[in-house]
Amino acid sequence: LKGDKVLARLVPSQYFGEMALVTGEPRMATAVCCEPSVLLRINAEDFALVIEENAEVRAVVERVAAERRKPSPGGR
What is the distance of C-alpha 55 from the center of its chain? 18
Whether the full predicted model's pTM is greater than 0.75, yes or no, is no
Determine contact, residues 22/66, Cβ cutoff 8 Å. no
Determine contact, residues 41/47, Cβ cutoff 8 Å. no
pLDDT of residue 3: 59
Q: Per residue in 20-36, pLDDT tens?
A: 777 777 777 676 777 78
Residue 67 has pLDDT above 70, yes or no: yes
Closest alpha carbon to 46 in 27, 26, 18: 18
